[in-house]
Amino acid sequence: MRVGILGAGNWGTTFALLAHRAGHDVVLWEYDAEQAARVAASRENVKFLPGYRIPESILVTTDVTLIRDVDVMVLAVPAQTCRQVLHGLGSVRPGTILLSLVKGIEQKSLDCMSRICKQELSPFDPEVFAVLSGPTIAPEVASGLPTSATVASTNAVAAKEVQAAFSAPHFRLYSSDDVVGVEFAGALKNVIALAAGMCDGMKLGFNAKGALVTRGLTELIRLGETLGGKRQTFTGLSGLGDLVTTCSSPQSRNRVVGERIGRGETLDQVLAGMVMVAEGVWTARAARDLAQKHQVSVPITDAVCDVLFEQKSPREALSELMQRALKAED
């Protein structure tokens, strides 16, 4: 297969290595010309995935037209930039599978990538769209450590094609038909990861973490089902699986952002020094807006937004969360 990857960041570059090892022809697109030239010349992505050699046969380019004529086009740019990238692409060869790796919600539209693809690409056939999500921290996958993830498409044939094309002995893919569920699970768990990081930063202990992951999952299910996802998706790899990883891994960027805020830094201070995207920060607002629009209770997401955007201290947000009116476990 010919695989074109839009985005040569941490995950896009890792996915390029995965696709190359699976025997596919790979084109890796990066929007920043200087960065693309550095990667192409040194055969290493020092900025986003240091320490991994990029084989000569992976074409690194800034020419987006080289991505149009592929069998699988992979979306691996931050959620807030996807619309602009797809708009620049304009059209895609009919039959090309569009595979989103993105875990985020666009702030202004409150849409996930399947809807953005529909709006920006013409013609667009939803039957060629698939999303891959799960506990897939990029450096672990790049170094060959084992994991599993979910590939969802409303078209079972497309889901199975992606599953077969990218599964590897250390990368086991399961298929699903729940595109909406997998997209929202991947995005919403990043918000809970920020809260988990705040727990770590405030040294609240393992009981607090266990309680947070459990109540965070309840929030994912409550909002995710309202938005059209299936409950079993949120308790699966793209939901609970990813939630456990991202709330505990030292390499989870969203958790690390939360941890630094929990230790007393402001969001601006943390973001100022970051090279890679922490999707949860932008998705938190979108998740809160979606919950308000659909009248769904998401107290952890609300607390995260209060800390990130309303200058509430993590301790105050925690105290308010713990002292809400008592209720039955749902």
Q: Closer to ligand NAD at the Cβ: 7 or 241?
A: 7
Minimum CB separation from ligand NAD for residue 116, in Å?
Answer: 12
Bridge partners of residue 27, in order along the sequence: 4, 59
| Gap between the Cα atoms of 124 and 98, Å rounded | 10
Minimum CB separation from ligand NAD for residue 88, in Å?
Answer: 9
Q: Closer to ligand NAD at the Cβ: 27 or 76?
A: 76
Nearest residue to the partner ligand NAD, using Cβ: 9
Alpha carbon distances (Å) from 290 to 27, 31, 105: 36, 30, 10
Would you name the residues annotated as active-site residues?
189
Count how many Cα atoms sit within 13 Å of the Cα of residue 316 in the half-sphere of its side chain: 9
Q: Which residues bind ligand NAD (CB under 6 A)?
A: 7-12, 30-32, 35, 48, 76-79, 81, 85, 101-104, 136-138, 276-277, 279
Residue 4 phi, psi (nearest 5) = -110, 130
Q: Closer to ligand NAD at the Cβ: 208 or 224?
A: 224
Max intra-chain CA distance, the chain: 60
* DSSP code string of 158-210: HHHHHHHHH-BTTEEEEEES-HHHHHHHHHHHHHHHHHHHHHHHTT--HHHHH
Minimum CB separation from ligand NAD for residue 299, in Å?
Answer: 24
CA 192 to chain centre: 13
Q: Is 134 within 8 Å of 101 (Cβ atoms)?
A: no
Q: Closer to ligand NAD at the Cβ: 117 or 317?
A: 117
Long-range contacts of residues 293-296, Cβ cutoff 8 Å, at least 24 apart: 293/110, 294/223, 294/226, 294/227, 296/222, 296/223, 296/226
Bridge partners of residue 130, in order along the sequence: 99
Closest-CA residue to 84 (of 60, 103, 108, 48): 108
Give the DSSP H/E element, type plus range, for residue 35.
Answer: helix 33-42
Q: Closer to ligand NAD at the Cβ: 182 or 227?
A: 182
| Gap between the Cα atoms of 208 and 200, Å rounded | 9
| Gap between the Cα atoms of 4 and 73, Å rounded | 5
Q: Closer to ligand NAD at the Cβ: 103 or 230?
A: 103
